[in-house]
Structure 1
């Protein structure tokens, strides 16, 4: 069963509203906007967690980020190769 809903009136630039309407598909504009807002809330929550972690442990360096990206890239390559090179 889905969450209860309420009706709201929002204002947004016409071009954004038109683009959202064009992309909303069969679920409609309300569902499209609700999904976009939910994603933004997730991003805001993640940014808050990052701020807390950086306050406690210091910022993550560009080198650390790149090393993790490299690890992720290698793991994806191994997965697409059927794990033939997995250690």
Structure 2
């Protein structure tokens, strides 16, 4: 069973609405917009968590961020190689 839905009226620039309509595909504009809003809510929640963590522990250094990005890229490469070995 899916979540209950509601009907809303929103206003947005015409060019953005038309670009979204073109890209929405078979799921339709409503599903496309709902997914975009859900992603924005996730980002907002993450930004709030980061703000709380930085308030408690101080800002994250650029070097720490880069080290984590590098580790993520390595993990993705290893995962991709592992999937290729299985195939």
Query: Structure 1 stretch 71-80 or stretch 57-66: which is displaced more?
Result: 71-80
Gapped runs of 5+ residues in structure 1?
83-87
Gapped runs of 5+ residues in structure 2?
83-87
Q: TM-score, normalised by structure 2?
A: 0.87
Displacement of 1:81 in angstroms is 3.6
Q: TM-score, normalised by structure 1?
A: 0.87
Aligned equivalents of 2:77, 2:6: Cα separation in 1:
45
Name the residue aligned to 2:25: 25
Name the residue aligned to 1:3: 3
Runs of 4+ in 1 over 4 A off after TM superposition: none
SS at match of 1:10: coil
Structure 1 or 2: more helix by fraction: 2
Displacement of 1:21 in angstroms is 0.2
Displacement of 1:75 in angstroms is 2.4
Aligned residues: 82
Sort the Cα spacing of 1:8 and 1:66 in 2 relative to 1 into closer, same or farther, 3 A: same
